[in-house]
């Protein structure tokens, strides 16, 4: 490969250097970027490049030792003293096992991207790069060493180690006072986490999904600013420390696929800022003793209980005053829907095939509770996706019927209703869907259109389903009163909602 050097020294004073497999150099004046080629003896950094602040190596470059004799120890970064960004993402060269030690002299370096460098075994010496803010080494699958000096780095804001499957430890203690995001997802060899220092109060996101950890350190309570904690797929995790109760700022907790933490769920009751809780795949066997009081989770809006094997929901759902989304999809043993709060707006129980919703009480209980709510907000729509026990794929099978509680029923994708009387509070719509092919797909983003009191369900063009028939019912005050007589207390609200099957 031949190199055409820059035509003038000014071309070397551009602020960005792009290294790509070009056979010539072509300055891009509009973006003020300088493209350099690859020499037969390695990366060529032109003299006079002191002003360069960014070097980006094209990740499509594949270098082979038999073709290029360069070694990283022969490459120096001493003449780019103003370098702030270095990106070697996706460089899969066999020579890229160790980064040159001269990187430690880049005192202005802020961003270092080494993701997908499969051959990288060690993080370069950055001991004299005090301004480093982002270090991204995700999917460096041979990386097996984390330098101890980085555990005390004072400027690092984001550390991405996602997919570093050979990495076993980060040392004994982390004291990174500026760190806001730590991503260890899919570090499958990591069995033990370091302790967290008191200075790590600025950490916002901690991602530990699919690691082999068995416990969280008690010092997790030092992460008082933590907002998101991802633990999904940590199958070896046996418990949650009581110190997790100190995470008062936590808004998202993902424990999906952690079946061994059920005995520790009581420690979540004090997380009053939590708005999203994911417990999918946690209840793998049913026990009558399962019962959790989450009434103190006053901010909870999204609860995922999908892919569980309980017969009944072991959480008092109706005590969650702000809950808007409840996911009970793929709970094959679930026989009854829980009592729902009037704040609910989305209920997904599509593949929970043991549910029997033929009786109108199951439907009317949810509909009337919603309609009678006193919580006025801008989102006056309730959406439900519920499957009956005969369902095989999506929606209802052709042999099923819309519950008789929907007194207005018509064949096809729409239903007409008359003008409601004064005591009407809401309109409930039900659509029975049938597959048009043996393996249909389905979209929850379907919409309902209204034309002269005729309501039709409109499905996206790619959905392999059709509406077999439709039903409607005006929910009135009498429905609310009847519901009270059978033991369900409600209040009042005026709303319009959409009930999809």
Question: Which residue matches tokens 């519950």?
Answer: 403
Of 137, 165, 187, the domain-final residue: 137
Q: What is the CA radius of gyration of the chain?
A: 30
Look up the domain containing 438 and give its range.
357-501
Q: Is residue 266 part of a domain?
A: no
Q: Is residue 234 part of a domain?
A: no
Please give the model's pTM, rounded to 2 decimal places. Answer: 0.80
Would you state the structure tokens that stand for residue 387, as one six-digit string?
């499957």
- pLDDT, tens only, 84-131: 888 878 766 554 555 556 566 678 899 999 998 888 888 888 888 899
**Does pLDDT of 73 surpass 50?**
no
- Classify burial at 65, counting beta carbons within 10 Å of its beta carbon; exposed 0-12, middle 13-18, buried 19 or more: exposed
Of 104, 137, 170, the domain-final residue: 137
Of 93, 122, 137, the domain-final residue: 137
Q: With contact defined as beta carbons under 8 Å apart, do 204 and 182 qualify?
A: no
* Per-residue confidence (pLDDT) for residue 19, from 0 to 100: 56
Instruction: Report how many domains make up the chain.
Output: 2
Three-class secondary structure of residue 368 per DSSP: helix
Q: Mean pLDDT, to the nearest integer, of 270-297?
A: 90
Q: Is residue 366 part of a domain?
A: yes
Q: Is residue 300 part of a domain?
A: no
* Per-residue confidence (pLDDT) for residue 214, from 0 to 100: 97
**Does pLDDT of 371 surpass 80?**
no
Do β-strands 302-304 and 325-327 pair in parallel, antiparallel, or remain unpaired?
Answer: parallel
Question: Which residue matches tokens 């994911």?
Answer: 278
* Per-residue confidence (pLDDT) for residue 72, from 0 to 100: 44
Angle at CA of residue 261, ends 258 and 263, nearest 5°: 150
The runs of H, that is alpha helices, within 341-391 are 360-371
In the structure, what pLDDT confidence band is assigned to residue 405 with cuts at 50, 70 and 90? confident
Q: Mean pLDDT, to the nearest integer, of 340-363?
A: 75
**Does pLDDT of 340 surpass 70?**
yes
Q: Is residue 332 part of a domain?
A: no
In the structure, what pLDDT confidence band is assigned to residue 391 with cuts at 50, 70 and 90? very low
Rounded Cα–Cα distance for residues 177 and 390 (Å): 56
- pLDDT, tens only, 165-221: 999 999 999 999 999 999 999 999 999 999 999 999 999 999 999 999 999 999 999
In the structure, what pLDDT confidence band is assigned to residue 77 with cuts at 50, 70 and 90? low
* CATH at 66: 3.80.10
Non-local (6+) Cβ contacts of 399 within 8 A are: 390
Q: With contact defined as beta carbons under 8 Å apart, do 79 and 41 qualify?
A: no
**Does pLDDT of 36 surpass 90?**
no
Higher pLDDT, 413 or 462: 413
Would you state the structure tokens that stand for residue 51, as one six-digit string?
């002003």
Q: Is residue 330 part of a domain?
A: no
Higher pLDDT, 496 or 53: 53
Share of the chain above pLDDT 90, in %: 39
Q: Mean pLDDT, to the nearest integer, of 299-317?
A: 95
Q: Is residue 181 part of a domain?
A: no
* Per-residue confidence (pLDDT) for residue 325, from 0 to 100: 94
* Per-residue confidence (pLDDT) for residue 107, from 0 to 100: 85
In the structure, what pLDDT confidence band is assigned to residue 476 with cuts at 50, 70 and 90? confident
Mean pLDDT value across the chain: 77
- pLDDT, tens only, 428-442: 888 887 777 655 555
Q: Is residue 461 part of a domain?
A: yes
User: Cα-flanking dihedrals φ and ψ of residue 308, to 5°?
Assistant: -115, 160
In the structure, what pLDDT confidence band is assigned to residue 10 with cuts at 50, 70 and 90? very low
The runs of H, that is alpha helices, within 167-249 are none
């Amino acid at each position: 490969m031949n190199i055409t050097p820059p035509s003038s020294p000014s071309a070397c004073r551009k602020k960005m250097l792009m290294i790509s497999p070009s056979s010539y150099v072509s300055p891009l004046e509009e973006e003020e970027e300088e493209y350099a080629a690859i020499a037969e003896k390695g990366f060529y950094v032109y003299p006079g490049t002191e002003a360069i602040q960014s070097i980006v190596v094209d990740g499509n470059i594949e270098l082979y030792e038999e073709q290029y004799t360069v070694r990283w120890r022969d490459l120096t970064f001493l003449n780019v003293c103003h370098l702030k960004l270095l990106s070697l993402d996706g460089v899969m060269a066999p020579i890229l096992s160790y980064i040159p030690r001269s990187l430690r002299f880049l005192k202005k370096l802020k961003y270092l991207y080494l993701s997908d460098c499969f051959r990288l075994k060690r993080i370069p010496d950055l001991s004299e790069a005090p301004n480093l803010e982002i270090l991204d080494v995700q999917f460096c699958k041979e990386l097996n060493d984390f330098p101890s000096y980085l555990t005390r780095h004072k400027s690092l804001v984001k550390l991405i180690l996602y997919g570093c499957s050979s990495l076993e430890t980060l040392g004994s203690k982390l004291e990174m006072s500026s760190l806001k995001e730590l991503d260890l997802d899919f570090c499958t060899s990591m069995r033990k986490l370091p302790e967290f220092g008191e200075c790590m109060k600025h950490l916002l996101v901690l991602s530990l999904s699919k690691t082999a950890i068995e416990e969280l350190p008690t010092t997790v309570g030092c992460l008082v600013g933590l907002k998101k904690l991802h633990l999904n797929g940590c199958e070896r995790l046996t418990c949650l420390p009581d110190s997790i109760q100190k995470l008062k700022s936590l808004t998202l907790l993902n424990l999906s696929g952690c079946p061994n933490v059920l005995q520790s769920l009581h420690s979540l009751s004090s997380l009053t800022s939590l708005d999203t809780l994911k417990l999918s795949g946690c209840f793998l066997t049913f026990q009558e003793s399962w019962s959790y009081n989450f009434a103190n989770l006053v901010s909870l809006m999204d609860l995922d209980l999908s892919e569980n094997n309980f017969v009944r929901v072991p959480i008092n759902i109706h005590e969650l005053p702000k809950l808007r989304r409840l996911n009970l999809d793929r709970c094959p043993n679930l026989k009854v829907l829980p009592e729902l709060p009037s704040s609910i707006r989305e209920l997904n129980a599509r593949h929970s095939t043991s549910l029997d919703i033929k009786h109108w009480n199951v439907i009317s209980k949810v509909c009337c509770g919603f309609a009678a709510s006193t919580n006025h907000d801008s989102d006056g729509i309730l959406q439900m996706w519920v499957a009956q026990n005969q369902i095989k794929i999506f929606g209802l099978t052709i042999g099923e019927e819309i519950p008789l509680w929907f007194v207005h029923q018509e064949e096809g994708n729409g239903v007409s209703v008359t003008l409601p009387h004064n005591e009407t509070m809401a309109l409930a719509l039900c659509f029975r869907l049938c597959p048009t092919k043996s393996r249909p797909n389905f979209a929850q983003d379907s919409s309902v259109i209204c034309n002269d009191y005729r309501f039709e369900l409109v499905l996206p063009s790619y959905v392999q389903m059709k509406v077999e028939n439709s039903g409607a019912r005006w929910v009135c005050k009498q429905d609310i009163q009847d519901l009270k007589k059978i033991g369900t207390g409600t209040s009042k609200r005026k709303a319009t909602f959409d009930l999809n099957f």
